[in-house]
Amino acid sequence: MRTTPTTTGRYVVTGARVLGREPTDLLLEDGVVAEVGPGLARGRAEVVDADGLVALPGLVDLHTHLREPGREDAETVETGTAAAALGGFTAVHAMANTDPVADTAGVVEQVWRLGREAGHCDVHPVGAVTVGLTGERLAELGAMAESAARVRVFSDDGACVSDAVLMRRALEYVKAFGGVVAQHAQEPRLTQGAQMNEGELSGVLGLAGWPAVAEEAIIARDVLLTAHVGSRLHVCHVSSAGSVEILRWAKSKGWNVTAEVTPHHLLLTDALATSYDPLFKVNPPLRTGEDVLALREALADGTIDAVATDHAPHSHEDKDCEWAAAAMGMLGLETALSVVQEAMVETGLLDWAGVADRMSSRPARIGLLDGHGHALEAGAPANLVLLDPAARRTIDPFALASRSRNTPYAGRELPGAVVATFLRGVPTVLDGKLQ
């Protein structure tokens, strides 16, 4: 539990460049942005000097694995949300593949409550689509929607809802409460035992291939199903240029389809697998340079709506082994903004307003979160992040707040650093430190 600030609870952020524009001041009071404009520093408010810093609305992650309950050795709601706050997030969606699976109102409420107690950011549980993620029958989606956790995003992430009838039913069923099905698109028969992107390198390295077509085939089927039943589909961690083409086509039809891309798929390629270091083993796998460029372009032009971390903590034992035996996944929360800065901002593909849109506004809209993703104007909830775009930092896995160490950026220098995060006017991070 966090200690209550000793101050009045009023903050004046001075000289902040909101969305990278001209410096201004923001007065945060009673959980909202009370005033925006120059010269707001005055008595009885703590001053946060944001000279040179960029202010963005608090980031929203659509895809976070907090591992609790079940794998508290890898991450807990407490450590995972601490990592989120340090990464500039004010809300995360906690994936359902826990143990027990979040497929009942009881489990989603437990996760939601743990998030409230931790207090570092809002935790919105994702409900499983099928009982036990087994892809056999629908979980009680309505009960989860009506629970205290008010679940709106449903996903079997980690597994694909591969049965076409079941997927159709899920898409139909969530219409009753405005939900969305977030699909982990992976045709299971085409990816049995798959270890890395199927391409030139998988053949050379002797690792079983995970063909992009296994993702694209499911996305193609699902956008058609979505159109057919008039529902809403969200595609998790899009990883290939081919997927982008299908999404572009579906959107051109006006269908209600959204998609996310992870920071690592915007920066890293399958060439990293040549080290056989399982830090680079992830699902969907890292793909080719051409895929990376296509994903960046799609994020820039809005074909892909959001950046989502797929933050996937794994214990040391699950990664310190041979490639085939290792777990899939990598940490993401504490490096996401820096990776997006390197891949999208420094390449000129997105400005800071674009980053705010893809990392806060749109994901908040997809997840139906009322309290997040608002422009930093008077009256908006005081959820924001202050970042220093000029900073450069070398990633030290042991300096991360996450309980796990499986960052693919260990030893790598990345641009940008989160200086402060405010959740409803209260700093969760100040001077780069957890409050």
Partner 1 sequence: MNRHLLSGADLSHADALLVLDTAEELAQLADRPIKKLPTLRGRTVVNLFFEDSTRTRISFEAAAKRLSADVINFSAKGSSVSKGESLKDTALTLEAMGADAVVVRHHASGAPHRLAHSGWIRGSVVNAGDGTHEHPTQALLDAFTMRRRLNGDRPLGTDLTGRRVTIVGDVLHSRVARSNVLLLHTLGAEVTLVAPPTLLPVGIDAWPCTTSYDLDGELAKSDVVMMLRVQRERMTTEGGGFFPSAREYSRRYGLDRRRVAVLPDHAIVMHPGPMNRGMEIAAEVADSARSTIVEQVTNGVSVRMAVLYLLLSGSTEITEVTA
**Interface residues toward Zn ion, by CB under 5 A:** 157, 184
- Beta-carbon contacts of residue 359 (< 8 Å; ≥ 6 apart): 56, 59, 60, 306, 307, 336, 337, 340
Q: Is 410 a binder of partner 1 (CB under 8 A)?
A: no
Q: Please state the closest distance from residue 120 (CB atom) to Zn ion, in A.
A: 23
73 is catalytic: no
Q: Is 268 a binder of partner 1 (CB under 8 A)?
A: no
- Beta-carbon contacts of residue 287 (< 8 Å; ≥ 6 apart): 197, 199, 212, 239, 240, 265, 269, 270
Spell out a b/e string for 63-92, using b for 16 or more CB atoms within 10 Å of the CB, else e.
bbbbbbbebeebbbbbbbbbbbbbbbbbbb
Mask of contacts with partner 1, 198-237, x by CB under 8 A?
xxxxxxxxxxxx-x--------------------------
**Residue among 322 and 370 whose Cβ is closer to partner 1:** 322
**Residue among 158 and 381 whose Cβ is closer to Zn ion:** 158
Q: Is 177 a binder of partner 1 (CB under 8 A)?
A: no
**Residue among 63 and 374 whose Cβ is closer to Zn ion:** 63
Please give the sequence-ordered ranges of beta strands (E in DSSP) within 214-359, or none if there are none: 233-235, 257-261, 306-307
Q: Is 397 a binder of partner 1 (CB under 8 A)?
A: no
**137, two tokens:** 């029958």
**Residue among 190 and 293 whose Cβ is closer to partner 1:** 190
Q: Is 290 a binder of partner 1 (CB under 8 A)?
A: no
**Residue among 47 and 325 whose Cβ is closer to partner 1:** 325
CA distance 197 to 280: 11
Interacting positions 296-355 with partner 1 (CB under 8 A):
317-318, 320-326
Q: Please state the closest distance from residue 206 (CB atom) to partner 1, in A.
A: 3
Q: Which of 275, 289, 302, 399 binds partner 1 (CB under 8 A)?
A: 275
Catalytic-role residue among 310, 318, 357, 388: 310
**Residue among 207 and 414 whose Cβ is closer to partner 1:** 207
* 82 in Cβ contact with 48 (< 8 Å): no
The one of partner 1, Zn ion, none whose footprint includes residue 201, by CB under 5 to 8 A per kind, is partner 1
Helices first, then strands: H and E counts in the chain: 12, 19
Q: Is 289 a binder of partner 1 (CB under 8 A)?
A: no
Q: Please state the closest distance from residue 194 (CB atom) to partner 1, in A.
A: 12
Q: Please state the closest distance from residue 199 (CB atom) to partner 1, in A.
A: 5
* 156 in Cβ contact with 120 (< 8 Å): no
The one of Zn ion, partner 1, none whose footprint includes residue 148, by CB under 5 to 8 A per kind, is none
CA 392, 397, 400, 402 torsion: positive or negative? positive
The one of partner 1, Zn ion, none whose footprint includes residue 317, by CB under 5 to 8 A per kind, is partner 1
CB neighbours of residue 390 within 10 Å: 11
Q: Please state the closest distance from residue 271 (CB atom) to partner 1, in A.
A: 13
Interacting positions 178-197 with partner 1 (CB under 8 A):
195
The pairing of beta strand 89-94 with beta strand 59-64: parallel
Phi-psi group of 189: left, alpha or beta (phi > 0 → left; psi -120 to 50 → alpha; rest → beta): alpha
Of the ranges 83-91, 112-120, 272-280, 422-430, which one interacts with partner 1 (CB under 8 A)? 272-280
CB neighbours of residue 274 within 10 Å: 12
The one of partner 1, Zn ion, none whose footprint includes residue 325, by CB under 5 to 8 A per kind, is partner 1
Q: Please state the closest distance from residue 154 (CB atom) to Zn ion, in A.
A: 13
The one of Zn ion, partner 1, none whose footprint includes residue 157, by CB under 5 to 8 A per kind, is Zn ion
* 404 in Cβ contact with 414 (< 8 Å): no
Query: Residues in the chain, how many?
Result: 435
CA dihedral 187, 188, 192, 193 (to 10 degrees): 90
Which residues here bind partner 1, judged by CB under 8 A?
A: 195, 198-209, 211, 275-277, 317-318, 320-326
Catalytic residue annotation: 310
